[in-house]
Chain A
Amino acid sequence: MRKSLLALAAGLLLAGSVSAASAADKLKVGFIYLGPIGDLGWTYQHDVGRLALVKELGDKIETTYLENVPEGPDAERAIEQLVRAGNKLIFTTSFGYMDPTLKVAKKYPNVHFEHATGYKRNPNMSTYSAKWYQGRYIQGLIAAKMSKSGVLGYIGSFPIPEVVSGINATILAAQTINPNIKVKIIWANTWFDPGKEADAAKALIDQGADVIMQHTDSPAAMQIASERGKLAFGQDSEMIKFGPKTQLTSILDTWGPYYIARVKAELDGTWKSEDTWGGLDSHMFAMAPYTNMPDDVKKMAEDAQAAITAGKLHPFKCPIVGQDGKPVECKGGDHLDDGQILGMNFYVKGIDDKLPGK
């Protein structure tokens, strides 16, 4: 049975290569997207990265994407479909694709995989992510300066380390400006659901928050903050058109350079499994222009950005005190080490809330 399947596969491969000869041996690069490319957030930015890739290397490669792929049993099939369609380098762009990507990677050792934001790797499976907490730190500084009520509103997606480290970085920064700053957190339990995100923003504003920050992907919270005359930060992409008088800045995911570098490596035959975790210095993300704030706040933000980029300022500089009042072990010298941040599972002191699942 297995032999005949293999023979069949070989036959299909031959047939495929004959008919595809006109495509001139272009490298096929595949993408799996969590949301629709029109989500204006996470998936949209990945597609912007893909388009940058096409612009740069379009004559050597051919890209394909599957959008709206749920993080459940369908993901494995979708990834395998891309493999079977001849894609040799496949980017799976959400955390929930980790196990399916690994399963398919083990099955097809000659295809290379790149999984965003996960922690499992294989000789043919890299991971890549960005140190967004650096951007969150800058946002925390701005928020504390701009908030009149001293209450920040934070829309969380899922209480995973990436999101928890973002909340901690925000509050640590804000405390340097206003030691009594408060943060209200609502877990939307979704990455993309404009209705839920809008409801969360309304609830936070009703609880006194006047600066809204989010770790979900749609511009809905920005629109609500704009309607209510509050301030807000965008997420993933430029959202200023949804709140011209509202957006302070936004963390912009800029995947293009990474995608181009990895595809070039694949074309050169130098691709190998790596763990990339890039910060402001590596251009894995950028900050949108600082808007709707006085010049001194803007200057403070720009200075902080420069200091973080230069490696002079670390958001998780020790000592860091946990919610229980005990200092957190400092494994990275004068700051927390990458492992502690990647697996962050605690709130710092000053967050008046309980981490779900603790």
Chain B
Amino acid sequence: MQLVLEKRAERSNAIALVSPLIAIGLTIVTMVILFAVLGKNPLLALQAYFIAPLTDGYSLQEIAVKATPLVMIAIGLSLCYLANAWNIGAEGQFLIGAVAGSWIAVKTQGTDAGAWVLPAMLVLAAAAGALYALIPAICKVKFGASEILTSLMLVYVADLFLDYLVRGPWRDPHGFNFPTTAEFDPVATVPLLIEGGRLHLGSIIALLVVAAAAILLGRTIKGFEIRVVGAAPRAARFGGFNANQLVILTFAVSGALAGLAGIIEVAGPIGHLQPGISPGYGFTAIIVAFLGRLNPLGILVAGLFLALTFIGGEQAQIAMKIPLDVTKVFQGILLFYVLACDSLILYRFKLVFSNRQVARGAG
């Protein structure tokens, strides 16, 4: 006797739409049980996680700030994943973008360079991110190397390169040998949208990126090509679409967006280049991309939702002394239910009693 997953002959569109909601509902039920076991009032805990951060302007700003890099990177990744190109190295492209953009900031420091500095930083960061992403893309197209491995390994190269720069040539001369560049000049800083707050221009750029991706995928032939190459490679070949070209294109776009997110983070909330500029944005964005079902609007919602769990997790730690680990368990459970619900829409469990049936089930 065996349990097998069998593909459903037909799938219900209504269920596909409510599936993420079911997942969130199940997560909340699980969390209520967990809070109760921990001896915390579940209602107050849920309030601290989900309601409190949405009720004041400060937390809303923080959610937007946290979601900005996640959404930008995830949009780029979704294009890759739709086209069946597996870019796992957005973290590295993020870091390289941050480094490239910071180069201009460091070189113009203390000079009377004008308003061109920030735009130049953004452009250079995007270009550097794209070039860095092209390394695994070209290795895949030319030599058949697994882009999953090469893009992932380049993350560590970027990390160490940044490390070398801030400990060596770019180190703040007045910083007691601590590994950081000097604070960027005002012309090299992303402007704030609200004085005294932390919301910055990057969040607007992220919204523009979401809109552009929605148009690209929904309204253009290129977007159609991306989706067909991913969903039906054979059909795409018959249709004359060049899959290799799309690998190059989607990697470049995704690298550019990650690089842009990197410089916006450094020239925005951080204000200088230092090690540890990313708490794993490039990897968390993979979760965001799938949570948003590789759909631009879905990614926007997923990015905001994940940011909410971070901010809410902190407020729960402060208000209810709920340990950080619970927040991590919570994020893990959420992802688990989302994937489980999705699987159960496409597949169903079946108990099989003999080998013949297994063979048929698998066929």
What's the nearest-Cβ distance from chain B to residue A94, in Å?
A: 11
Q: Is B147 positioned at the interface, with any CB of A under 8 Å from its CB?
A: no
Q: Are A68 and B324 also in contact (CB < 8 A) when A81-B318, A99-B272 are?
A: yes
Number of A residues near B (Cβ < 8 Å) is 42
The segment out of B39-47, B81-89, B239-247, B275-283 that lies at the interface is: B275-283
Q: Is A357 positioned at the interface, with any CB of B under 8 Å from its CB?
A: yes
Mark B293-320 against chain A: 1 for CB-CB distance below 8 A, else 0. Answer: 0000000000000000011001101110
What's the nearest-Cβ distance from chain B to residue A294, in Å?
A: 38
From the candidates B62, B66, B179, B319, name the one contacting A158 in the complex (CB within 8 A). B179
Q: How large, as a class, is the contact surface on chain B? A: 35 or more
What's the nearest-Cβ distance from chain B to residue A93, in Å?
A: 15
**Among B56, B178, B195, B319, which residue has the most Cβ atoms of chain A within 10 A?**
B178
Q: Are A160 and B178 also in contact (CB < 8 A) when A8-B56, A71-B276 are?
A: yes
Mark A115-159 against chain B: 1 for CB-CB distance below 8 A, else 0. Answer: 000010000000000000000000000000000000000000011
The segment out of A72-80, A265-273, A283-291 that lies at the interface is: A72-80
Mark B151-176 against chain A: 1 for CB-CB distance below 8 A, else 0. Answer: 00000000000010001100100001
From the candidates A66, A76, A164, name the one contacting B314 in the complex (CB within 8 A). A66
**Among B56, B62, B196, B314, which residue has the most Cβ atoms of chain A within 10 A?**
B314
What's the nearest-Cβ distance from chain A to residue B276, in Å?
A: 5
Interface residue ranges of B156-208 to A (CB < 8 Å): 163, 167-168, 171, 176-180, 183, 194-196, 198
Q: Are A12 and B318 also in contact (CB < 8 A) when A160-B179, A189-B163 are?
A: no
Across the interface, which residues of B come within 8 angstroms of A30, CB to CB?
A: 318
What's the nearest-Cβ distance from chain A to residue B122, in Å?
A: 18
Across the interface, which residues of B come within 8 angstroms of A68, CB to CB?
A: 324
Across the interface, which residues of A come within 8 angstroms of B271, CB to CB?
A: 99
What's the nearest-Cβ distance from chain B to residue A165, in Å?
A: 11
Q: Is B321 positioned at the interface, with any CB of A under 8 Å from its CB?
A: yes
From the candidates A66, A74, A164, A356, name the one contacting B167 in the complex (CB within 8 A). A356
Measured CA separation A344–B178 after assembly (Å):
10
Q: Are A85 and B319 also in contact (CB < 8 A) when A73-B269, A76-B198 are?
A: yes
Residue of B nearest to A66 (CB): B317
What's the nearest-Cβ distance from chain A to residue B312, in Å?
A: 11
Q: Is B57 positioned at the interface, with any CB of A under 8 Å from its CB?
A: yes
Across the interface, which residues of B come within 8 angstroms of A66, CB to CB?
A: 314, 317-318, 324
Q: Is A52 positioned at the interface, with any CB of B under 8 Å from its CB?
A: no
Mark A83-118 against chain B: 1 for CB-CB distance below 8 A, else 0. Answer: 011000000000110010000000100000000000
Across the interface, which residues of A come within 8 angstroms of B194, CB to CB?
A: 1
Q: Is A48 positioned at the interface, with any CB of B under 8 Å from its CB?
A: no
Q: Is B352 positioned at the interface, with any CB of A under 8 Å from its CB?
A: no
Contact B314 A81 (CB under 8 A): yes
What's the nearest-Cβ distance from chain A to residue B83, in Å?
A: 31
Across the interface, which residues of B come within 8 angstroms of A82, CB to CB?
A: 318
From the candidates B65, B176, B270, B317, name the one contacting A72 in the complex (CB within 8 A). B270
Contact B65 A161 (CB under 8 A): no
Q: Is B91 positioned at the interface, with any CB of A under 8 Å from its CB?
A: no
Contact A357 B196 (CB under 8 A): no
Given contacts A72-B276, A77-B311, A356-B168, 10 further A-B contacts (CB under 8 A): A2-B196, A8-B57, A77-B314, A78-B314, A81-B311, A82-B318, A95-B178, A342-B176, A356-B167, A357-B179
A-B contact pairs, 28 of them (CB 8 A): A1-B194, A36-B324, A64-B318, A66-B324, A67-B323, A70-B276, A72-B277, A72-B278, A73-B269, A73-B270, A73-B277, A73-B279, A74-B279, A77-B66, A77-B314, A96-B274, A99-B180, A107-B196, A158-B179, A159-B177, A160-B178, A161-B177, A161-B178, A164-B177, A189-B163, A189-B275, A343-B177, A356-B168
